[in-house]
Structure 1
Amino acid sequence: MTGQRLRALTYYRVSTKKQLETDYDPDGNSIQTQREDCRTAAERYGYEIVDEYLEPGNSGTSITKRPVFQALLKRVAEIGDVDAVIIYRRNRIFRNEWDAAITGRELSDHGVRLISANDYTDDTAEGQLVASVLDSINAYQSRAQGNDIKRKMAGKAARGGTPGRAKLGYRNVHETIDDRSVATIAVDPKRAPFIHTAFELFATGKHSIRSLRDALTAAGLRNRPTKAHPAGTEVSPSQLEKILRDRYYLGYVIWGGQEHPGRHEPLVDPELFAQVQDVLARRRRGTRERVWRHYLKGLLWCARCGSHLIFEPARSRDGKPHFYFRCARRQGGHCDLPRFPLTTVEHAVEAHYATITISEAERTAVREHLTEAIAAQQSTTKALRQRLRAELTRLEHREDAYLELVGNPDWPAEKLTRKVQEVNLERDRINQRLAEADTADYAQAAQRINALADLLANPRALYRTLPDDHRQAFNDLCFDKLYVDADEPDTPLISHADLASAHEPIRHYCDQLSAQRPSGKQKSRDSRRGSQGAPPSNEAPTVGLTGLEPATP
């Protein structure tokens, strides 16, 4: 290099971007300290600083994974307009002795000196020896600290604690125990209901990962907010799949390949988790299963041996599929219940509805309580609209605040544009939800309730008018199980149902609302089926998406 004044580049680095937010200065306390020491070193050695390179948020990584440092080396190699590179400390740049040796050799090959503002710097053989010793000591300390942290994290996991940041559905909190602040994990009341719902819906087999993600997003699930994304980002399909496979939500902590009982509260029970893993395993197979759907699947059981009836296809000689119901134990010769064609079973179920009667008093009770439910929903919708409009006002204020930052050198135009785009996206979503809330026709709903109550006078006639998906819902309301026997060799007969009559659940519902007896928690359909297993198919009963949004907003 020629010229009267030697030229130098300075390189500053912080481990995390949060270290840039520790002072009024946009670069934070750490960078400002590094800058002052490097400027002092430049004056001491007689260099003029011509450019600065700042590397934020690349903790513990090799120099090959630091883009800013690689840009500095590229400038040295291709432009060659500097005489030295000044750094704060060698251990701020080099995590091991190999990085230090490679960088030193590369700079030396281009005639550029490496100066550390706070370490001994000398270009003699003795100075190079001291630098290599410092690099070796720094590398040892870095590895020792890393091993110490790993041991402490493994010990915490073995005791049931959760190392690191809480998973989605939980939050990091501090509890005071014996005047000590203890870091622990608590259930996130805002997001935990979404996680449980995700497991429930996926266990039905009716959702793909992507469709489930879309439904949860529409219902309001977001990742925790950050400074860059105050409203929280959407959960990605891959993130959702990891959640569904993660035994942490079952109550376990996995660390270093070892599983330990956790101190945190599980969000799902073992049965539900196992059902989700079964669905995931079926979809992971190389050959895709063909799933045949029918509204009676999961409802029919054998009156002779108590096993469930399987819905299966068979093909005629011309290749057309024909469908049957058969007892699960018939194939091994353990049950003699005949195999019935689908249409005969459908007729048998329809005929069974002729045995059901619902009194006028019960129909009146249903009408009154459903009308009350509609009124309550109308009130909830009004409150939702008010909340959404308040959210729109908040977004407008945020957008105004961003627009006022236009021209501020600390807020680049690209960053402001991204922030405004996020606000617009969130506004579009809220407007869509507001439009959906405004389309509810409660007068029409009341008319339908009265018409439904009138139809309950003749359940069989009502059942005949229903489409298949509504028939499944009506069957679920009326029966837990229907037991099938043979009236004649090829004619099925519904011998009995688990419930004495179809109006028993309606009576129970009315009794609960009338407070004539203490209300109990109604068991789910799956839990009432007993120990004989899940529904005999790859599709469980439908779970509506209307229950996606948790009660806690």
Structure 2
Amino acid sequence: MSRGRAPEPQRREKIRCAIYTRKSTEEGLDQEFNSLDAQREACAAYIMSQRHEGWTLVPDYYDDGGFTGGNMDRPGLKQLLADVEAGKVDVIVVYKVDRLTRALSDFAKIVDVLDAAGASFVSITQSFNTTTSMGRLTLNVLLSFAQFEREVISERVRDKVAASKRKGMWMGGNCPLGYDIQDRKLVVNEAEAETVRYMMRRYLELGSVYDLAAELRAKGVTSKVHRSEEGKIWGGKPIVPGALYHILGNELYRGVVVHKGEAHPGEHEAIIDDKLWTAVQDKLASNRIERRHQANANEVSLLAGMIRDGEGRRMTPSHASRGDVRYRYYNSVNEGEGPHPRPIRIAARDIEKAIVESLERLIGDRAQLTLLYPQHGSEGYETANLLRSAALLHRNIPTIAPSDQRALLLELSLQVIVHADRIEAKVGYAALGERLGVEQFDADREVVELSIPTLMVRRGTDVKLTIQFDAQASSSRRDPKLVELIVKAHQARRMLGLDGKPPSLPENLGYRERSHIARLARLSFLAPDIVRAVMEGTQPASLQSKRLYRMSDLPMNWDSQKTMLGFS
């Protein structure tokens, strides 16, 4: 009788584990072995202890140093959840559950992502089973205490800031023009202080922030130069109108510290007296009232000299009156002899409103600005300054006087072309970047296109071009994952050196990471029409980020791309 072979041990399925680490502050992160390293080491040891269950550690690092657990706006967490959705991770391993999140609402969102992908998470220092009702109750109790702890800490910080400001203490941030910092206190820089006084006096004389900005630029006056402890230098740029509004309304210059609308005597010395301050604030308030009521709006043609029709003819302002109502238009002007195509006429109010609103949408779109002007500073100062300048300009555009709006459009080198079936509008790429204080540009790019949605309306035998103002509809359809994928594609392109600059890939990248970056970089060669549609939210419903990322046969020909992705 032959002896049977012993059954082979059953091979366990491979379980891919990703370690997530987080620390709320940046303190100590520059140490050789910091808190993130300690968390990762403990989690890696736990995964090693589960090798008999098929657990294996993925090589990717998901670290968020200096990010709060009170929200999900963390790059490491976003990348981790994206990899979970892409099926690259089966288990998230954390040192404690509050490293993952301190908010119950955010935890519910994370659990939804894990459930949809068939993944789970493990806290190595807290034992509970989320498949049972008691386990879920235990987890919710722990998260409730974590959220309570975060809120108590926030309240303590807010109370400390409020108490300090009531004593007149300056609580940090970028040092304002006119002061230096000594022993964490503001000390008057007399040369810069005189510049601030000059700005205040000239604003009263000129009455226009944009005229003052132009004068300061001509004189070579720049913003304050800042230097970090690491030696990073930023600032020293021409002062833009948005920054001027901030300077003219900054109560620090009259020797006070403001907290929640209440002014407290400051420890620092005033630069300007109360008489000058009051006069400047009265002038600013007076101009705001004029802007709100659009004083002298009928006398300003915003686009004069910047608008042409599809035949290349200048379009000049004109008007017609019916009773007391004045209607403004832009009309094509026939020049020279011979037959001319039919002139185009368009309502001035409609096209001016469309241009201004489209410019607002562009400047208010943080994702698109980051894609247009990718800055490479490791500390992120450049990008932060770009978005801060854009936010100031976006807030001021609707309220500035029509004459100042026209000055802004001229500064941005606006070009408008009115065709019989569409409107094209462009601003200078470099001009917009300089206006926003950008330090690095794409040398090959000349213009930025503005989106002006138009519609052909047939009325009997006549055809009229109308402008659609439903801008929020397209914005609500924008897919943030698609936008983020395209942004990452351009980042990968720069890392591989495909933009003409030296590659910046880390030396310790493995094969999988390099393959991922190469796959992303392919998407930076999408047709401009496709990128524009994604940014505007008008792409086909079938175009999803997962589908686009996984396409291995995406053609380089733009027309073929549009056909494959459902644009035609």
TM-score normalised according to structure 1 size: 0.45
Which of the two has greater helix per residue? 1
Higher RCO (CA 8 Å, separation ≥ 6 residues): 1
Q: Which structure has the greater CA radius of gyration?
A: 1
TM-score normalised according to structure 2 size: 0.44
